[in-house]
Amino acid sequence: MKRFNFRGYTLLEIVVSLGVLGIVIVPLMNMFVFCHKVLSRSHDEYESIQLAQLYMEEIKAMAKIDEENYSYLSEGNMYERVVDNLNYQVRICIIPEGESGLHWVEINVHRKEEVVNDLLGSVILD
């Protein structure tokens, strides 16, 4: 008598294993998409903070307001500069506080009309 050795999987076993694999993979893919969104948002926030700090340090290094880069707005009694970066638009406002030399600095970093980050500070200028 001849014995048949059928090694392999039946169609039913393959379909069941693919179904179980699909049930496991879908939540994992959702997790990867969510993690990518969180990472992208964190990267945008980090980049915008670095950009705002760069301009804040530039202002703190000035002895007086650079009137070539900053235009005076009489209606707001402030100096303003708008810088278009690769991904961001940076709006810098320097507001004099009386005659003391103290100036308030507000830096807003925008991306697609949305404020990504802002930085507030003060500096003493002539």
- Sign of the dihedral through C-alpha 107, 86, 69, 80: negative
**31 assigned to some structural domain:** yes
**1 assigned to some structural domain:** no
- Sign of the dihedral through C-alpha 74, 113, 90, 34: positive
pTM of structure? 0.72
CATH number at residue 18: 3.30.1300.30
| Number of domains forming the structure of the chain | 1
pLDDT lower than 70: segments of the chain? 1-2, 4-6
The pLDDT value recorded for residue 56 is: 94
**99 assigned to some structural domain:** yes
The pLDDT value recorded for residue 6 is: 67
Question: At a CB cut-off of 8 Å and minimum separation 6, what does 60 contact?
Answer: 121, 123
Q: What does the DSSP 8-state code read for residue 121?
A: E
**18 assigned to some structural domain:** yes
**63 assigned to some structural domain:** yes
Neighbour tally for 48: CB within 10 Å: 24
